[in-house]
Structure 1
């Protein structure tokens, strides 16, 4: 059955619904859990638009430090909640990646049997305009994906 659950999260309220459900499921199934958070690549376009891009090593180091700090905060909050439930979790941070690609890769790399992911449940034009990492994971995952709204 589902002996290893991959839980992607960005720390948002929507993602938290998926995390909460997945941790309860893992507890009930006595499943292994990997919690994944992904931080986006450095965007020179975005930084140029803000007139802050200087291309310095210092700026890149600061960017990476802030990304790691944010990822650690998200992961450690999940770990604390999991600990209260008696669920042991492995924490993974993938930096400079697109979330759906990192989720799909990590599911294979970690041997997950199930991905549990939160979703806004957007439809129609909003989904097309905003994109949907969840929809991409659903379309390309080789294992079951449980979407929590």
Structure 2
């Protein structure tokens, strides 16, 4: 039924529940999984006031957070016994990136949480889930 599942996560507690549900489903179905995390673009106004040091600090912190998120996802997949690939999509709007990656990778199902964090670690928002639901050509499993 679902041979390739795309799971979107931002590392939040809620997104981790989505990851867990997606991995359990993949295990039961014998599906492979691609886990992605998407980091949004800097707002142009923020770039205007941020100096090179601020941008470099932000980038370093973001890369460290992304590394942690994807390593944890890979560890969960390994513990579950699911084949998993991880990807970071940088400087994109999350909904757009999720839908595009699902099409590029020919996935059968997208799994994501109903909303994620805001602020510094903003990667997926509830409105992003709605956008994915309305623009995806494949089924979307939303975990609340």
TM-score interval, normalised by the smaller of the two chains: 0.7 to 0.9
- Using the size of structure 2 for normalisation, the TM-score is 0.85
Aligned pairs for 1:57-76 (under 5 A) are 59-76=54-71
- Using the size of structure 1 for normalisation, the TM-score is 0.83
Question: Does the 8 Å CA contact 2:114/2:126 hold for their aligned counterparts?
Answer: no
Gaps of 5+ in 2: 116-124
Give the ranges of 4+ consecutive aligned residues of structure 1 lying more than 6 Å apart after TM superposition: none
Distance 1:53 1:78, change over 3 A: same
Name the structure 2 match of 1:101.
96
Question: Does the 8 Å CA contact 2:26/2:33 hold for their aligned counterparts?
Answer: yes
Aligned pairs for 1:1-16 (under 5 A) are 1-16=1-16
Instruction: Mark the structure with the bigger radius of gyration.
Output: 1
Aligned pairs for 1:77-116 (under 5 A) are 77-116=72-111
CA distance in 2, matches of 1:41, 1:12: 19
Number of aligned pairs? 135
Question: Does the 8 Å CA contact 2:41/2:92 hold for their aligned counterparts?
Answer: yes
